[in-house]
A and B are shown apart, each in its own frame.
Chain A
Amino acid sequence: MLTPEEWGAVRLSLSVALRSVVFGLPPAVLAAWLLARGRFPGRALLDALVHLPLVMPPVVVGWLLLVTFGVRGPVGALLNDLFGIRLVFTTAGAALATAVMSFPLIVRAVRLSLDAVDPGLEAAARSLGAGPIDRFVTVTLPLIAPGILSGAITAFAAGLGEFGAVITFVSNIPGETQTLPLAIYSATQTAGGEATAARLAAISFALAIAGLLLADLAGRRLAILIGRAPR
């Protein structure tokens, strides 16, 4: 049904989205925790910064990444010199761009569930002898697990379709950075590519729907599992 190139784009999309979620999740949970529980100067600024990718044109995000993580950019040059890591025009770079774009989605989901956790439970854990990391791992984390899971799945589904930031930062290289939306874009630019574009668009649609339904289902199942919702 699909050509090997088209399959490649689908596989690449899945891989990029998965990596973006895996690497984006820990900092997103940390940011959500800081925003929900932290009291420090610059909290409003951090909040704005986290949500920036949601409102800024993706091209701008991609361009900022290019400036920062490019071979001559401040961070990019360092990574290249010290570890030989190159992000521009690579799959890893595509994952980074996708992670930045879906970051606010995870933060929002995690923060919503953090707000729903009674701080009194953490106080109770304290009085029972649990230190800060102990009570985060044994009380807070399990209680926000539904939020983390549904945030991760939503971010994964959205990451499959990230276009502007990816194409700006890592270009459109088949087999390397040409994810599903980029392949659809290329197909529409090619004479006789309508059929390819339609097939890929249908897959994209199916993946997005499946992702959203799964996120909802997983969140609800987990909430029941951890006793936050009645069976």
Chain B
Amino acid sequence: MLEVALRHRFPGFALDTAFIAPTPGVTAVFGPSGCGKSTLLAAIAGLLRPEEGRVALDGAVLLDTAARVMMPAERRRCGVVFQDSRLFPHLSVETNLRYGLRRAPRDAEGPGFAEVVDLLGIAHLLPRRPAALSGGERQRVALGRALLSRPRLLLMDEPLAALDAPRRAEVLPFLARVRDRFRAPILYVTHALDEVDRLADNLVLMEAGRVLAADTVEALSTRADLPQLAARRDAGALLPCTVLAHDPARGLTRLGFPGGELRVPLREEPPGTRMRVRVRARDVSVATEEPRGLSVQNILPVTLESLGPAAPHEAMLRLRLGGAVLLARVTDDAVARLALRPGQRLWALVKSAAFAANTPSLENPG
């Protein structure tokens, strides 16, 4: 468990946050630029001394201003992956990778050099200098360097933000691999929702230096009262799905989730693969009677749990479907025409084509 409580004032900006992140697991800190995410990370890493605060990782106190404990950054063993990679330009990739490894305590557990190099696919880069690497390669090496320092906690400060879309797509799978392979808890700062969908178990939502909400990613994705999430074009419920079967003839894949099934365009993952699918609220429409003769592949019986304003002339519907919740964004006019009210039985319609391309929509970073 990572316990964080920090207060720090800058001219014109104040950070006042507290949250608890389960360990191990990936906790994303999500919020707009300038909301204090990176400051938070620097304070946890020990690179910034906050005015007041307490940081404890699995019972070990890293910082406690009340008790005058301030462990220096070099002894906290928090591996940091920076947005700008910060590889040492005068050292080869291999020496960069070994920099933290050489300084890690002897008894520290962690992956070996060969294992990390293999996992990140950087063996061919070892003799090169950082100046000769592409942006994506640099971030992979930086990730490896942080991993090899045998950290108790991995801190990632928008590791993909400086990369263009193809490079992001290149590095993201490596981050997922690192998450799956190593036990170190990860705190992942980002302002890209697709990275949250792809990597995070938990989400800390920040705005203007404060924590708005902290919960599992799935739970937060179905809250209609968080404008930061609900007002986004790509807002929508995140469903934990399992690939059930492929139907290549029809070009469809069936995904199961607690409460129902979804038909999506054919995917490559083998049956049994677990994946998250974001059902965007703007892709969901509702009907009061079971519709017939529609092209829509997914027609799901749901119960309207609640409805509230989403935007001018628009409402956000929370739809219950067994153990899952869907969000739907409809016009106020539709609410009036269909006389929608909580408790009503409805059919939710989701076009299969809404899941085209990569499901956590990469082409739509927000």
Q: Are B80 and A226 in contact (CB under 8 A)?
A: no
Q: Are B86 and A227 in contact (CB under 8 A)?
A: no
Q: Are A129 and B82 in contact (CB under 8 A)?
A: no
Q: Does B329 contact A (CB under 8 A)?
A: no
**B-side contacts of A130, CB under 8 Å:** 74, 99, 103
Q: Does B129 contact A (CB under 8 A)?
A: yes
Complex CA–CA separation, A131 to B73 (angstroms):
9
Q: Which residue in A129, A134, A228 is a CB contact (below 8 Å) of B90?
A: A228
Q: Are B79 and A127 in contact (CB under 8 A)?
A: yes
Given contacts A124-B80, A230-B131, contact A129 B103 (CB under 8 A): yes
**A-side contacts of B76, CB under 8 Å:** 127
142-200 of chain B: CB within 8 A of chain A: 145-146, 149, 155
Q: Are A120 and B86 in contact (CB under 8 A)?
A: yes
Q: Which residue in B72, B103, B131 is a CB contact (below 8 Å) of A128?
A: B103
Q: Does A126 contact B (CB under 8 A)?
A: yes
- Which of the listed residues B46, B79, B100 has the most CB atoms from chain A within 10 Å of its own CB? B100
Q: Are A129 and B74 in contact (CB under 8 A)?
A: yes
Q: Does B113 contact A (CB under 8 A)?
A: no
User: How many contacting A-B pairs (Cβ < 8 A)?
Assistant: 71
- Shortest CB distance A86–B (Å): 43
Q: Does B130 contact A (CB under 8 A)?
A: yes
Q: Does B77 contact A (CB under 8 A)?
A: yes
**A-side contacts of B155, CB under 8 Å:** 127
95-130 of chain B: CB within 8 A of chain A: 99-100, 103-104, 129-130
Given contacts A129-B77, A227-B131, contact A143 B45 (CB under 8 A): no
Q: Which residue in B45, B104, B130, B131 is a CB contact (below 8 Å) of A127?
A: B45
7 contacts between A and B (CB under 8 A): A118-B86, A124-B88, A126-B74, A127-B45, A131-B72, A131-B74, A227-B131
Residues of B within 8 A of A (CB): 45-47, 72-80, 82, 84, 86, 88-91, 99-100, 103-104, 129-131, 145-146, 149, 155
Residues of A within 8 A of B (CB): 118, 120-121, 123-131, 134, 138-139, 142-143, 226-228, 230
Given contacts A126-B74, A127-B46, 18 further A-B pairs with CB under 8 A are A120-B84, A121-B86, A121-B89, A127-B45, A127-B47, A127-B76, A127-B79, A127-B80, A128-B99, A128-B145, A128-B146, A129-B149, A131-B72, A131-B74, A143-B89, A227-B90, A227-B129, A227-B131
